[in-house]
């Protein structure tokens, strides 16, 4: 069974020969792996979701069964470098390069108060020239051999607060500020078009997401989620399935989001990610017991403790344990619960790949 067959069996709720693997890494980790293995280092893509779709050749060579694609900055509006080590993307968000990640420095809609503020702001064009070139290259290369996962995280909530600042957005959302719905309308339109395009291109899974959870609880009350975000997600899922009724829809939400899982099942979600094992209430065995008939699980390998701090034997044990629990009777794409970061020993990363391949 090749990687693509394994992946397709899993997302179609059949039992594969072993669990399929997907891995995403930061550029620093990709360089570490390239140096160790002698495999080529691939330049990161110019995308707000770069880590999920970059270095896929390296991941595939190491043993990943699925590769990622994502929207990239268009040809005429690439991410640019400013003075003082700052970076500005096509959304107008300004970041400071701190090494592992680009940290937020300036929120372009921090001033927003009215619907007019949103109307006057220039948002990205989903159909801009060059946006889909890299995604098409990846599909052309891997479509026959690997699963294809189209990344569309930061679907609504996160992109909104990336533009305004988190504290401002949360407060203004509760105060029902005039600009909130127009802003979400703009983001919803753009990301609906992104998703439809990647489905038309032939992705197997559309991976949406917003982090609604912290380590210990939800970031907003359940009623707020159901009032503001759930109806929009329902509309987006409907539009995606108009393009392909058989598309598999995944949702990423870090943190303690168990109270929202029944809502996502009601929305027709197929795949839940990332199963952050140290977040409150996200214990894999309980999730499998309660939701395993409704959802495929995607993630589950701890990037907070085991991968960066564990021994190679502990990593091996973690992989086997997660595969045994979440992969029982199928329904599991094994993956780190987030991008693997630079504090992770190369030996542990290679152990992850080798252990999965040996299952």
CA 35/CA 41 separation, integer angstroms: 8
- Count of other CB atoms within 10 angstroms of residue 224: 16
Residue pLDDT, tens place only, 146-157: 999 999 999 999
Q: What is the pLDDT of residue 347?
A: 98
- Average pLDDT value for residue range 35-46: 97
pLDDT of 17 above 90? yes
pLDDT of 61 above 90? yes
Which run of H or of E encompasses 350?
helix 346-358
pLDDT of 53 above 90? yes
**Checking phi first, is residue 50 left (phi over 0); if not, alpha (psi -120 to 50) or beta?**
alpha
* Paired strand residues for 250: 207, 271
CA 177/CA 161 separation, integer angstroms: 14
Strand ranges across the sheet with 248-252: 66-69, 147-153, 205-209, 248-252, 271-273, 296-301, 332-336
- Please report which residue ranges of 12-48 form alpha helices under DSSP H: 27-37
CA 171/CA 72 separation, integer angstroms: 31
Confidence of residue 102 (pLDDT cuts 50, 70, 90): confident
pLDDT of 100 above 70? no
Residue 8's alpha-carbon distances to 22, 160, 332, in angstroms, are 13, 33, 11
Structural tokens at position 344: 């992770």
Confidence of residue 46 (pLDDT cuts 50, 70, 90): very high
- Count of other CB atoms within 10 angstroms of residue 293: 11
Cβ atoms 250, 149 nearer than 8 A: yes
3-class DSSP state of 192? helix
Inter-residue long-range contacts of 79-85, CB under 8 Å, 24+ positions, other chains counted: 79/46
Residue pLDDT, tens place only, 254-297: 999 999 999 999 999 999 999 999 999 999 999 999 999 999 99
- Average pLDDT value for residue range 192-198: 98
What is the CA angle 89-95-100, rounded to 5?
A: 110
CA 260/CA 357 separation, integer angstroms: 33
Q: What is the pLDDT of residue 203?
A: 98
Residue pLDDT, tens place only, 228-255: 999 999 999 999 999 999 999 999 999 9
> What does DSSP assign to residue 226?
I
Confidence of residue 101 (pLDDT cuts 50, 70, 90): confident
Sign of torsion over alpha carbons 173, 177, 181, 183? negative
Q: What is the pLDDT of residue 114?
A: 98
Instruction: Give percent of the chain above pLDDT 90.
Output: 97
Which residues have a Cβ under 8 Å from the Cβ of 11 and sit 6 or more positions away?
A: 147, 204, 205, 248, 270, 271, 296, 333
Residue 35's alpha-carbon distances to 45, 51, 178, in angstroms, are 19, 18, 52
Which residues have a Cβ under 8 Å from the Cβ of 138 and sit 6 or more positions away?
A: 53, 56, 67, 68, 69, 148
Q: What is the pLDDT of residue 70?
A: 98
Residue 83's alpha-carbon distances to 5, 73, 80, 87, in angstroms, are 48, 20, 10, 9
CA 177/CA 228 separation, integer angstroms: 13
* Paired strand residues for 86: 82, 96
Instruction: Give percent of the chain above pLDDT 70.
Output: 100
- Residue 58 exposure: Cα atoms within 13 Å on the Cβ side: 28
CA 154/CA 184 separation, integer angstroms: 12
């Amino acid at each position: 069974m090749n990687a693509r067959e394994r992946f397709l069996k899993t997302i179609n709720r059949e039992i594969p020969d072993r669990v399929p693997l997907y891995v995403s890494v930061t550029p620093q980790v990709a360089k570490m792996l390239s140096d160790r293995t002698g495999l080529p280092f691939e330049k990161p893509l110019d995308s707000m979701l770069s880590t999920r779709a970059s270095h896929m050749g390296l991941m595939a060579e190491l043993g990943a069964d699925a590769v990622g694609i994502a929207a990239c900055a268009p040809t005429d509006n690439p991410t640019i470098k400013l003075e003082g080590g700052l970076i500005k993307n096509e959304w107008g968000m300004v970041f400071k390069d701190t090494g592992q990640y680009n940290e937020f420095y300036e929120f372009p809609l921090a001033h927003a108060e009215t619907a007019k503020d949103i109307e006057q702001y220039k948002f990205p064009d989903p159909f801009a020239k060059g946006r889909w070139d890299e995604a098409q290259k990846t599909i052309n290369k891997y479509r026959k051999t690997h699963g294809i996962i189209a990344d569309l995280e930061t679907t609504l909530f996160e992109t909104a607060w990336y533009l305004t600042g988190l504290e401002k957005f949360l407060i203004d959302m509760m105060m029902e500020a005039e600009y909130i719905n127009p802003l979400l309308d703009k983001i919803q339109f753009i990301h609906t078009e992104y998703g439809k395009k990647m489905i038309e291109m032939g992705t197997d899974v559309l991976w949406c997401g917003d982090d609604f959870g912290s380590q210990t609880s939800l970031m907003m009350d359940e009623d707020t989620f159901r009032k503001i975000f759930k109806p929009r997600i329902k509309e987006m899922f409907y539009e995606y399935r108009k393009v392909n009724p058989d598309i598999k829809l995944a949702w990423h939400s870090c943190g303690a989001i168990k109270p929202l899982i029944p809502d996502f099942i009601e929305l027709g979600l197929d795949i839940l990610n990332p199963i952050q094992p140290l977040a409150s209430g996200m214990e894999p065995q309980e999730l499998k017991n309660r939701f395993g008939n409704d959802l495929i699980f995607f993630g589950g390998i701890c990037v907070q403790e085991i991968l960066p701090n564990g021994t190679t034997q502990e990593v091996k044990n973690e992989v086997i344990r997660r595969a045994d629990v979440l992969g029982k009777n199928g329904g599991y794409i094994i993956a780190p619960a987030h991008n693997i970061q630079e504090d992770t020993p190369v030996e542990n990363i290679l152990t992850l790949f080798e252990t999965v391949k040996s299952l």
